Amino acid sequence: MIYKGVFMALKIWLDGKLVDEADARISVFDHGLLYGDGVFEGIRVYSGKIFKLDAHIKRLYQSAKVIRLEIPLSQSKLVNAIEKTVEANGVIDGYIRLVVTRGTGNLGLNPFVCEKSIIFIIADNIQLYPEELYETGMKVISATTVRNHPLAIPPQVKSLNYLNNILAKIEALDSNVPEAIMYNHEGYVAEATGDNVFIVRNGVIYTPPVEAGALEGITRGVVIRLAKEENLEVVEKNLTRFDLYVCDEFFLTGTAAEVIGVVEIDGRVIGDGTPGTVTKLLRKKFFEYAHGREK
């Protein structure tokens, strides 16, 4: 990474200490690598402050509990490790990837043979989409890949097994668009491959409930609260493809994406083909909130 004009080798927090990026290695027998067995969080840093860290830590431990993965650090010690990693890399406005793998085991599926879970933390810069895309809005498609059934893995678990989302992402890239909307087994909107979905119709904001297969996003929660503070009505309800086609506005939220407008889905133009007034307002309000510039 480049910090204040000087190239710096990344420092990775791995298994209890900071190491150079070149020395950050895990075993090929780690079940996180072999089977996608683990959990993670993506966290933002704004103006030198880690954004909604407590909420991310809480979700990480909840995800780990659901898959019966023991995190070998207390929450306070993990927070300290994250702060040290951010400081060591001089990250002012950037991104943290916090990962907990099942640890080293054997070639069988049994997770309980793994010696101990492994934690690693990466803190670096990120820009998911080019800035002009936030001004013009993005095009998306409907994925044919169905969101994982909630009885297979609860959508609230942010696991390392992202193949479901990756297959939908491939569909988007094959169609020369950056994102795809995923539907659940009942045909209702779940989420995008990496973001939560919102639409606006007749002045009301709608977003799929978690039960539809959506991750309970941290940014999603902040945006809902900011919308209500602006006296905008927010309704969580099942949405169909029809709802997306006929809405007045359409936007996505996520840790990396923040708030970004969608202007076309499956060849259908949304509104006037530009990000709408509610989308622009909430993007502005989120930026001010994240950077501590609220009035």
Determine contact, residues 186/150, Cβ cutoff 8 Å: no
Half-sphere exposure of 173 (CA within 13 A, CB side): 7
pLDDT in tens, 224-249: 999 999 999 999 999 999 999 999 99
Q: Whole-prediction pTM value?
A: 0.93
pLDDT in tens, 122-158: 999 887 789 999 999 999 999 999 999 988 989 899 9
Determine contact, residues 80/197, Cβ cutoff 8 Å: no
Determine contact, residues 217/60, Cβ cutoff 8 Å: no
pLDDT of residue 8: 66
Chain centroid offset of residue 61 CA: 16
pLDDT of residue 295: 53
pLDDT of residue 294: 59
Determine contact, residues 150/213, Cβ cutoff 8 Å: yes
The domains located in the chain, with CATH, are 2-124 (3.30.470.10), 131-290 (3.20.10.10)
DSSP state of 292: T
* The two three-digit tokens of residue 253, written as one number: 């939220």
Q: Distance between CA atoms of 27 and 105, rounded to whole angstroms?
A: 9
Helix (H) or strand (E) holding 252: strand 249-254
Indicate if 280 belongs to the active site. Answer: no
Which residue stretches of the chain have pLDDT < 50? 3-6
Tell me, what amino acid is at 280? K
Q: Can you give the three-state secondary structure of 118-180, one letter per residue?
A: EEEEEEECCCCCCHHHHHHCEEEEECCCCCCCCCCCCCCCCECCCHHHHHHHHHHHHCCCCEE
The alpha helices in 196-240, defined as continuous H runs, are 218-229
Report the 10 Å Cβ neighbour count for 268.
11
158, 284, 285, 295: the active-site residue: 158
pLDDT of residue 186: 97
Q: Distance between CA atoms of 165 and 172, rounded to whole angstroms?
A: 11
Q: Distance between CA atoms of 244 and 92, rounded to whole angstroms?
A: 36
Phi, psi at residue 210, to the nearest 5°? Answer: -55, -35
pLDDT in tens, 26-44: 999 999 999 999 999 999 9
* The two three-digit tokens of residue 274, written as one number: 């530009």
Kindly give the pairing relationship between strand 179-183 and strand 17-20. unpaired
